[in-house]
């Protein structure tokens, strides 16, 4: 009977150790939190999925070249509580996105603010 308890305890410990990466969460170290940039563009795709909502949009640089941007926001659960839905951004919509750009300079950002073409500001932080 005692060996059965020890075996169960060891199995529980092994399970917790092996499953610990599931509870991990990445930080924001990939983004430059010292500067907020603002980019205006056209929504190409909007994915209201876990763990973070993804917004794909095209914007033009100073020379008129199209740059494909990806913006990451909070979880769908958090954004739903702020009035978002899976239909809030549709392809073709004009948006202005402000956020922290990726440190490596790629067209990737963590969203701080989104403004729709009609001036409506979408809350992204609780």
Q: Which residues pair with 41 in a beta bridge?
A: 95
Which of 53, 84, 55, 49 lies closest to 71 in space, CA to CA? 55
Supply 99's token pair.
Answer: 């956020």
pLDDT at 23 over 50: no
At 25 the three-state DSSP class reads: coil
Residues of the chain above pLDDT 90, percent: 73
pLDDT of 13 over the 80 cut: no
- Is 50 exceeded by the pLDDT of residue 111? yes
Per-residue model confidence (pLDDT) at position 88: 96
- The C-alpha atoms of residue 45 and residue 90 are separated, in whole angstroms, by 7
| C-alpha to C-alpha distance for 86 and 117, rounded to whole angstroms | 18
pTM of the model: 0.78
Rounded to whole angstroms, how far apart are CA atoms 85 and 7?
Answer: 47
Tell me the three state secondary structure of residue 31: strand
Instruction: Say yes or no to pLDDT of 19 above 70.
Output: no
- pLDDT for position 16: 47
**Of 3.40.50.1000, 2.40.50.140, 1.20.1090.10, 3.40.50.2020, which CATH number belongs to 30-122?**
2.40.50.140
Task: Please give the mean pLDDT across all residues of the chain.
Answer: 86
Of the pLDDT bands very low, low, confident and very high (cuts 50, 70, 90), residue 21 is very low
């Amino acid at each position: 009977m005692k060996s059965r308890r020890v075996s169960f305890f060891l199995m529980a410990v092994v399970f917790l150790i092996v499953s610990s990466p599931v509870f991990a969460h990445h930080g924001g170290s990939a983004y430059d939190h010292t500067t907020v940039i603002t980019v205006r563009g056209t929504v190409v795709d909007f994915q209201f999925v876990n763990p973070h909502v993804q917004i794909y949009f095209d914007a033009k640089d100073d020379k008129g070249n199209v740059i494909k941007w990806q913006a990451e926001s909070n979880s769908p659960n958090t954004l739903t509580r702020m009035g978002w839905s899976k239909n809030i951004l549709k392809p073709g919509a004009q948006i202005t996105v402000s956020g922290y750009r990726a440190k490596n300079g790629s067209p990737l950002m963590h969203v701080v603010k989104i403004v729709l073409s009609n001036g409506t500001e979408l809350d992204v932080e609780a």
